[in-house]
Amino acid sequence: MINAIKLAPSIISADFARLGEQVREAEAAGADYIHIDVMDGRFVPVISMGTPIVEAVRQVTRLTLDVHLMVAEPERHIGAFMDAGGDIINVHVEASTHLHRIVQEVRGRGRRAGVCLNPGTPVSAIEEILPEVDQVMVMSVNPGWSGQRFIESALSKVQRLRRLIDEGGFRAEIEVDGGVTPENAPRCAAAGANVLVAASAVFNDRASVSENMARLKEALSRVGRGA
């Protein structure tokens, strides 16, 4: 049976001049999480946003804040992002020398710990940490920008991860991040993902946030019905 799929709109594509309003629109349209993409100009080429934005978003919603740290040496920053109101703290395995310590610290503060895999990083990189984590993020683009094309090989990665999690009886949820659209969202869900991040498919000039969210939800409603 396929569980309900959670949607995590990423504010990276939102209108920053109306950020609070955009977050409220996403919440009203049925968002489950608000995804916050933190880029440091080192782990990824560009700089995006930091703790003040997390604090600001925390003021306008009670939704789970899913903080995606695309930063070098994330151990130096996880405390500040938890203080700012992050609920799920996701770090990249490629950036974390002491991944286990980071996961322990996040869970020790009662937050959820997520680990992220770049497209070129194998599932085996998280084999040891898998029993300890609350979420695994499978990147379906190379992190750095919104609006990139979905990398199809992410789907088989999700399938393999789903098998490992189910066989091990682990609690980790599987999140897919990058290039998610109404076209590929059902395939992500069918592969075994249960949280989908979407930035440019939710916040764009073509339609309202509620229309875009409705399209994603409608596409997902077909999963399990042979779509």
Q: Is 177 among the residues known to form the active site?
A: yes
Considering only 66, 177, 189, 216, the residue that binds ligand DX5 (CB under 6 A) is: 177
- Cβ contact 193:175 at 8 Å: yes
In a 10 Å sphere around its CB, with 0-12 CB exposed, 13-18 middle and 19+ buried, how is residue 108 labelled?
Answer: exposed
Could you tell me which stretch among 80-88, 155-163, 197-205, 218-226 binds ligand DX5 (CB under 6 A)? Answer: 197-205
Q: Should residue 120 be labelled a site residue for ligand DX5 when binding is judged by CB under 6 A?
A: no
Please give the Cα distance from 161 to 127 (Å, whole number).
9
212: contact with ligand DX5 by CB under 6 A = no
Our CB check for ligand DX5 shows the closer of 113 and 196 to be 196
CB of 194 to Zn ion, least distance (A): 16
Task: Please name which of 161, 170, 118 lies closest in space to residue 142, comparing C-alpha atoms.
Answer: 118
Among 11, 12, 154, 195, binds ligand DX5 (CB under 6 A): 12
| Longest CA–CA separation in the chain, Å | 46
Picked from Zn ion, ligand DX5, none, the partner binding residue 178 (CB below 5 to 8 A depending on kind) is ligand DX5
Read off the tokens for 88: 């799920």
Q: What is the radius of gyration, based on Cα positions, of the chain?
A: 16
Report yes or no: 9 and 19 within 8 Å, Cβ to Cβ: no
Number of other residues whose CB lies within 10 A of the CB of residue 174: 22
* 154 vs 221, beta carbon nearer Zn ion: 154
195-198 vs 88-92, strand pairing mode: unpaired
Helix (H/G/I), strand (E/B), else coil: 70? strand
Residue 136 contacts ligand DX5 per CB under 6 A: no
Among 21, 76, 192, which Cα is nearest to 123's? Answer: 192
Binding residues for ligand DX5 restricted to 88-117, rule: CB under 6 A: none
Q: Min. distance of Cβ 144 from ligand DX5 in angstroms?
A: 5
Catalytic residue list contains 15: no
Could you say whether residue 135 binds ligand DX5 (CB under 6 A)?
A: no
Catalytic residue, chosen from 40, 66, 134, 177, is 177
Indicate if the alpha-carbon torsion angle 223, 4, 213, 158 is positive or negative: negative
- Our finding on whether 146 is near ligand DX5 (CB under 6 A) is yes
Q: Which of 74, 143, 186, 192 binds ligand DX5 (CB under 6 A)?
A: 143
Using CB under 6 A as the criterion, which residues of the chain lie in contact with ligand DX5 when the complex forms?
A: 10, 12-13, 35, 37, 68, 141, 143-148, 177-180, 197-201
Query: Active-site residue numbers?
Result: 37, 177
